[in-house]
Structure 1
Amino acid sequence: MHWSAKTLRRFMNFWPPFLGAGIRVKEFADDGSRVVVAHKLNKLNQNAVGTAFGGTIMAMTDPFFMLASMARLGKEYSVWDVAGEVRFLKPGKGTITAVMEIPDETFELIKERTADGSKYLHWFDTEVTNEAGEAVARVRRQVYYRRRRSATDKE
């Protein structure tokens, strides 16, 4: 299934785990170059000490490098989110935001590394920041890429 960036943004905003956690997709560029996700803390989505759950911070970035890549690369590629790491730096209070960007050069590298059908694993880094622009967490996501074989490749 291949959805447009606009459809993905709408779907993710109503996806029950994100809806319940208070995670909102604010921006999803059509070309897969940029995704902005925010979480506004309230009484229903805070942990025992009144801050954002660590799992919520991690979930803010969970599918987006993969989904942005799928939006950009299309059906010609198999794309999977395969690993994630987080380093918590300070409590997440108020509204926290993750800006995930994939520059054109990264997409060119992916195409180059997978041109012969090889798999390629790429790490993406992003920060989750508070309203003052301070880093709350540093998140790394690893995404798997492989160019799919076409009918002409199989012959």
Structure 2
Amino acid sequence: MTATPARLRRLMNLWPTFRCAGIRVVHIADDWSSATVRLKLGVLNRNAFGTAFGGSLSAMTDPFFALLALHQLGRGYIVWDKAAEIEFVSPGRGTLTSTMTLPPEEAEQIRAATKNGDKFLKWYDTTIVDADGRLVARVRRQVYVRRRKRADA
């Protein structure tokens, strides 16, 4: 958890899963409240119809709500991406962008909801748009959070 947002962004851009899919993390806010990711359509991420492969669209958003929560909450929490839904609205062509946001107030709500050891489950929504701002997909990610027990801290 010692990674800064800039360092995590650089490391994620080296990650083969993102590199091979044409995904690039372009920004992570200094306060861990948002992350912006781009996908450039290329030979390795096109489907049979010449548009963005749905798995790449889903991968664009995969770790970010959980990462934003984890870094805002700190080491005393277990955070993971529990479920996902994606609705494909229009064909993805060119450069696609998604911004995931988890405001600091949300982290405070998570702390309050988990203070007695309860788990926290919440769906977070984002969109994927093309360079003209046209909606390509709606994405929902469910994040699971609970406080660490002393033994697994």
Common fold by TM > 0.5: yes
Matching of residue 71 in structure 1 with residue 39 in structure 2? no
Q: State the secondary structure of the residue aligned to 1:90.
A: coil
Mapped to 1, the partners of 2:137 and 2:105 lie a distance apart of 25
**Which consecutive unaligned segments of at least 5 residues does structure 1 have?**
none
Mapped to 2, the partners of 1:18 and 1:9 lie a distance apart of 11
Matching of residue 51 in structure 1 with residue 51 in structure 2? yes
Name the % identity.
52
Aligned twin of 2:82: 82
Matching of residue 30 in structure 1 with residue 30 in structure 2? yes
Aligned twin of 1:6: 6
Q: How many residues are paired up?
A: 151
Kept in 2, the 8 Å contact 1:4–1:71? The answer is: no
RMSD, aligned CA: 1.4
Q: Per-residue CA shift, 1:2-44, capped at 9, x if unaligned? A: 5332222111101111100100000011321010000011233
Residue 25 of structure 1 aligns with an amino acid whose one-letter code is: V
Q: Assess, with a 3 A threshold, how the Cα gap between structure 1 residues 2 and 79 changes in structure 2: closer, same or farther.
A: farther
Mapped to 1, the partners of 2:14 and 2:77 lie a distance apart of 26
**Which consecutive unaligned segments of at least 5 residues does structure 2 have?**
none
Aligned twin of 2:125: 125
Kept in 1, the 8 Å contact 2:72–2:104? The answer is: no
Q: Per-residue CA shift, 1:80-128, capped at 9, x if unaligned? A: 1110000000000000000001112211210110011111001100000
Which sits farther off after the overlay, 5-14 or 126-135?
5-14
Which stretches of structure 1, 4 residues or longer, exceed 3 Å deviation after superposition?
Answer: none
Mapped to 2, the partners of 1:65 and 1:128 lie a distance apart of 15
Mapped to 2, the partners of 1:22 and 1:69 lie a distance apart of 25
Aligned twin of 2:92: 92
- Displacement of 1:73: 1.1
Kept in 2, the 8 Å contact 1:2–1:71? The answer is: no
Mapped to 2, the partners of 1:79 and 1:7 lie a distance apart of 20
Mapped to 1, the partners of 2:2 and 2:69 lie a distance apart of 11
Matching of residue 39 in structure 1 with residue 39 in structure 2? yes
Residue 136 of structure 1 aligns with an amino acid whose one-letter code is: V
